[in-house]
């Protein structure tokens, strides 16, 4: 089957949002981890920031990233006519 | 759970009603037990009641969900709503190690233990972005199914089956082991009996109803385990921070812990105890240089002491003390060696307390750098391993649509997050309790919880008065990681019924994970090996029967293995993540995101990934080194100082690179395969030659 222009645009948009969210994931995980000692000099709600990010902050970011992806893609499906219709 | 053909939304409504009713019933059950406890019900019976009631409950759901239909048995009829699939995945994911062990690891390792917390949650970002929606669209039954269809032929499928069974089996043995421990501790049954009681609990959930039964019991198990984990922490949080959300407010407690660490590091009595450990370790190291001579010298010295006391006509009690010391001396060189090795290991206790909030503590820059690399290495392997473990990925085949699969990953991580973002808080609250009330107390008047746990199990808590001053020093306490979660109800001053609840929660965590894993193994064997490779004409009822028999066989082998108490189980669980990450992740993700990836590339990539991972582990992990007769020093094999648990850091990128290089060197996949890739990329595409859901 040949993919229409619209289908290819849908896939490109998917790749873009995936790349952006992966960047956020990378920052919250590896960049945060690499600089954790330095971040600990900053105080956040009474916590050393590096510790709080690794213990709670990054985890919350992951939840938000996945929530955003689900919301965005489900919207994109409808916009590009590749959604599955109502649940049976 | 009725068979009738409901609309999906009516089905969801009904599920909500059932589980709300169930949660209410469970809470009422706890309240009733608490009242019974006040009226004098003995503790032992509270433990039994929890064990019998919860396993009975799972059995009931299991029997109600029995089925002989293939799509019900393998993928729960593909109508599990996102919210409930999220709960089921949460229970599937969180094992005994997460529930009982996680807070303990954080207590002992401080910041560096957070690698697991981050890894086991962040991995879901990869599941959501790279795998779940596409696998759901593909819509078959197992993970090797996808590899087989995408790359063609039975070789890729076989490697997939081998890797799936390798990772899952190691993991399921650890779960059954955990079930045995919990059952034994709270009912007083023997460990081996506990293992088989637990096995019964596992089988009633999965045997008759496959994925369908496992899904609905896992939802029930999640509800129990989260109530069990949260209740004591919230209580303790109110005590220390004044609000019921200690996860955001324990900063002040952490600051107090940091102050106490400084105080304890400088304390003269603490230093005295630490010096005793250091002297012992030094003496043992010296003695071990020539054990035979040291043993003979030590004995001669004691004999001489007795003789000289007798010759000098010393008081009778002095002579008898000297004789006692001689009688208590190591009988032979081997016994003496064992004692010296123990003393030598005691050197660890000569170190001052580890600063809890400080990342990567180390004596110099190089040590700190290695600690940092190892932290990030573990995070990496746990994340990519999470996104490659078949028992988790399989769960996303069970949702009604791609849309629900995406939502379902969100709910999965949300429900997992609830426990994981509580564990670091619990570790700090428990540490504060130990540092402030246990340290400094009189040996004659220990806090009640400490006295009782010390009596129950010395591997969980042992306190010895090393410097004989009658007061507890931190260096005199040895805590087993599992203690932290188990003791929380008591330090929070809650009745014993909450301890029973915690045990029931731990049991639920272990049972639910074991179920998911057993099902993965049995399905890989019955669906991928038997149906796809041996007898493609097998009738549907025969396939389900074969699966049930295999489930039973695998469960018995796993239980037998667990009952032999294999020593290196914790390492093996970590290894399962590295192996899964190296073997599955590149082939699965490139399969969706790169049309050019082909069969030769996938075979080579999976083998290279597994091979590199395995090579690194055999050369750097002591147990495997012995097994394979590796003799050159570990340091020569270490790359960047990374520990063997992080072998996936090398296996995954090399596996991925291999797929790319080999694919480019060989012919592009057929047009049909390329169309399959397009098919999985779009939730619904008109004119596609593939049907969405084939049963």
Q: Which pair of tokens denotes residue B377?
A: 């290495």
Q: Do A88 and B8 touch (CB under 8 A)?
A: yes
Q: Do A56 and B9 touch (CB under 8 A)?
A: no
Last residue of a domain, one of B350, B384, B405: B350
In a domain, B286, yes or no: yes
| B27/B133 same-domain check | yes
ipTM > 0.90 for the complex: yes
Q: Do A33 and B372 touch (CB under 8 A)?
A: yes
Picking from A29, A73, A88, the nearest residue to B122 by CB comes out as A29
CB B147 within 8 A of CB B587: yes
DSSP string, B341-379: HHHHHGGGGGSPPPPTT-SS--SSHHHHHHHHHHHHHHH
Nearest to B106 by CA among B233, B227, B231, B218: B233
Q: Do B675 and A1 touch (CB under 8 A)?
A: yes
In a domain, B88, yes or no: yes
| B190/B81 same-domain check | yes
Picking from A47, A66, A84, the nearest residue to B128 by CB comes out as A66
Q: Which pair of tokens denotes residue B500?
A: 């029973």
pLDDT tens readout for residues B420-459: 999 999 999 999 988 888 888 888 888 888 887 787 777 7
CATH number for position B379: 1.20.1730.10
d(CA B410, CA B49): 35
| B522/B389 same-domain check | yes
| B228/B303 same-domain check | no
Predicted pLDDT of residue B693: 43
Exposed/middle/buried for B346, CB within 10 Å: 0-12, 13-18, 19+?
middle
Q: Which pair of tokens denotes residue B207?
A: 């045997």
Q: Is the dihedral of CA B392, B394, B397, B399 positive or negative?
A: negative
Residue B569: pLDDT over 70:
no
Domain assignments of chain A as residue spans, ordered by start: 5-79
In a domain, B177, yes or no: yes
Q: What mean pLDDT do residues B532-550 have?
A: 85
Mean residue pLDDT of chain B comes to 86
B188: phi > 0 → left, psi -120 to 50 → alpha, else beta; which?
Answer: left
d(CA B247, CA B250): 6
CB B198 within 8 A of CB B180: yes
Q: What mean pLDDT do residues B363-370 have?
A: 87
CB B179 within 8 A of CB B201: yes
Q: What mean pLDDT do residues B642-666 have?
A: 92
Residue B74: pLDDT over 60:
yes
Rounded to 5 degrees, φ, ψ at B45 are -75, -30
Residue B570: pLDDT over 70:
no
Rounded to 5 degrees, φ, ψ at B595 are -65, -30
Predicted pLDDT of residue B123: 95
CB B208 within 8 A of CB A5: no
pLDDT tens readout for residues A68-78: 999 999 999 99
Angle at which helix B268-289 crosses helix B251-266, to 10 degrees, equals 60
Give the number of domains in chain B: 2
| B540/B610 same-domain check | yes
| B200/B278 same-domain check | no
In a domain, B444, yes or no: no
Q: What mean pLDDT do residues B661-674 have?
A: 92
In a domain, B461, yes or no: no
Q: Do A59 and B118 touch (CB under 8 A)?
A: yes
| B190/B289 same-domain check | no
Picking from A36, A62, A82, the nearest residue to B122 by CB comes out as A62
Distance from CA of B592 to the nearest CA of A (A): 12
Residue B692: pLDDT over 70:
no
| B504/B572 same-domain check | yes
Q: Which pair of tokens denotes residue A55?
A: 């213990």
Residue B656: pLDDT over 60:
yes
d(CA B584, CA B553): 26
Residue, of B204 and B114, whose pLDDT is higher: B114
* Domain enclosing residue B27, as ranges: 8-151+159-237+374-425+496-681
Predicted pLDDT of residue B694: 40
- Residues of B within 8 A of A63 (CB-CB) are 410, 413-414, 417
Q: What mean pLDDT do residues A43-58 have?
A: 90
Picking from B9, B254, B406, the nearest residue to A69 by CB comes out as B406
Q: Do B359 and A30 touch (CB under 8 A)?
A: no
Q: How many CB pairs under 8 A join A and B?
A: 152
| B600/B565 same-domain check | yes
CB B346 within 8 A of CB B281: yes
Residue B695: pLDDT over 70:
no
Angle at which helix B585-593 crosses helix B599-620, to 10 degrees, equals 150
| B337/B395 same-domain check | no
β-partners of residue B442 are: B471
- In angstroms, what CA-CA distances link B347 with B275, B283, B363? 9, 11, 16
């Amino acid at each position: 089957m040949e993919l229409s222009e619209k289908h290819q645009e849908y896939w490109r948009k998917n790749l873009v949002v995936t790349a952006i969210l992966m960047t956020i994931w990378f920052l919250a995980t590896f960049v945060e981890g690499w600089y954790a000692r330095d971040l600990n000099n900053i105080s956040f709600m009474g916590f050393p920031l590096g510790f709080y990010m690794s213990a709670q902050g990054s985890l919350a970011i992951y939840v938000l990233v996945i929530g955003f992806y689900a919301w965005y893609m489900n919207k994109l499906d409808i916009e590009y006519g590749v959604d599955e219709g109502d649940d049976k | 759970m009725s068979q009738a053909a409901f609309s999906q939304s009516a089905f969801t409504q009904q599920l909500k009603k059932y589980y709300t009713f169930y949660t209410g019933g469970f809470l009422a059950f706890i309240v009733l037990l608490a009242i019974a406890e006040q009226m004098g019900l003995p503790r032992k019976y509270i433990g039994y009641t929890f064990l019998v009631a919860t396993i009975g409950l799972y059995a009931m759901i299991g029997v109600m969900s029995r089925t002989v239909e293939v799509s019900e048995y393998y993928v729960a009829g593909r109508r599990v709503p996102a919210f409930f699939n999220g709960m089921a995945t949460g229970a599937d994911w969180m094992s005994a190690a997460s529930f009982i062990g996680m807070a303990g690891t954080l207590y002992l390792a401080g910041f560096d233990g957070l690698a697991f917390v981050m890894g086991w949650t962040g991995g879901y970002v990869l599941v959501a972005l790279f795998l779940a929606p596409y696998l759901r669209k593909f819509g078959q039954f197992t993970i090797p199914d996808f590899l087989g269809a995408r790359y063609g032929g039975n070789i890729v499928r076989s490697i997939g089956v081998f890797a799936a069974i390798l990772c899952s089996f190691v993991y399921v043995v650890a779960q059954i082991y955990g079930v045995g421990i919990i059952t034994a501790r709270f009912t007083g049954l023997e460990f081996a009996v506990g293992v088989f009681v637990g096995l019964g609990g596992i089988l009633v959930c999965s045997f008759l109803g496959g994925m369908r039964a496992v899904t609905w019991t896992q939802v029930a198990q999640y509800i129990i385990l989260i109530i069990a984990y949260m209740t004591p922490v919230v209580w303790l949080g109110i005590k220390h921070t004044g609000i019921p959300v200690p996860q955001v407010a324990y900063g002040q407690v952490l600051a107090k812990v940091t102050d106490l660490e400084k105080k304890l590091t400088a304390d003269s009595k603490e230093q005295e105890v630490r010096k005793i450990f250091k002297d012992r370790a030094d003496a043992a190291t010296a003695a071990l240089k020539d054990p035979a001579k040291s043993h003979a010298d030590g004995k001669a010295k004691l004999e001489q002491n007795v003789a000289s006391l007798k010759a000098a006509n010393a008081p009778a009690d002095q002579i008898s003390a000297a004789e006692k010391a001689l009688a208590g001396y190591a009988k032979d060189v081997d016994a003496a060696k064992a004692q010296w090795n123990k003393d030598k290991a005691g050197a660890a206790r000569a170190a001052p307390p580890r600063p809890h909030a400080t990342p990567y503590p180390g004596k110099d820059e190089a040590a700190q750098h290695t600690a940092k690399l190892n932290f990030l290495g573990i995070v990496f392997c746990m994340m990519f391993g999470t996104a490659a473990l078949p028992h988790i990925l399989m769960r996303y085949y069970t949702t009604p649509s791609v849309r629900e699969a995406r939502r379902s990953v969100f709910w999965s991580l949300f429900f997992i997050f609830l426990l994981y973002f509580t564990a670091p808080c619990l570790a700090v609250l428990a540490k504060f309790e130990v540092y402030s009330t246990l340290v400094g107390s009189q040996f004659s008047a220990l806090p009640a919880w400490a006295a009782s746990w010390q009596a129950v199990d010395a591997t969980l808590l042992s306190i010895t008065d090393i410097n004989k001053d009658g007061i507890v020093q931190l260096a005199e306490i040895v805590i087993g990681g599992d203690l932290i979660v188990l003791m929380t109800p008591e330090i929070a001053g809650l009745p014993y019924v909450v301890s029973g609840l915690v045990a029931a929660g731990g049991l639920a965590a272990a049972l639910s994970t074991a179920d998911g894993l057993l099902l993965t193994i049995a399905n890989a064997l019955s669906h991928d090996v038997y149906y796809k490779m041996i007898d493609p004409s097998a009738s549907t009822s025969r396939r389900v029967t074969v699966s049930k028999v295999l489930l039973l066989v695998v469960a018995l082998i796993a239980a037998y293995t667990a009952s032999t108490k294999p020593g290196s189980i914790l390492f093996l669980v970590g290894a399962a993540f590295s192996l899964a990450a190296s073997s599955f992740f590149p082939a699965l993700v490139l399969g969706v995101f790169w049309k050019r990836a082909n069969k030769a590339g996938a075979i080579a990539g999976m083998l290279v990934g597994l091979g590199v991972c395995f090579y690194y582990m055999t050369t750097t992990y002591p147990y495997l080194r012995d097994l394979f007769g590796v003799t050159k020093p570990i340091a020569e094999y270490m790359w960047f100082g990374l520990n063997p648990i992080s072998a996936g850091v090398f296996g995954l990128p090399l596996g991925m690179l291999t797929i790319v290089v080999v694919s480019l060197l060989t012919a592009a996949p057929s047009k049909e395969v390329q169309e399959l890739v397009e098919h999985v990329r779009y939730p619904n595409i008109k004119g596609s030659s593939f049907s969405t859901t084939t049963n």
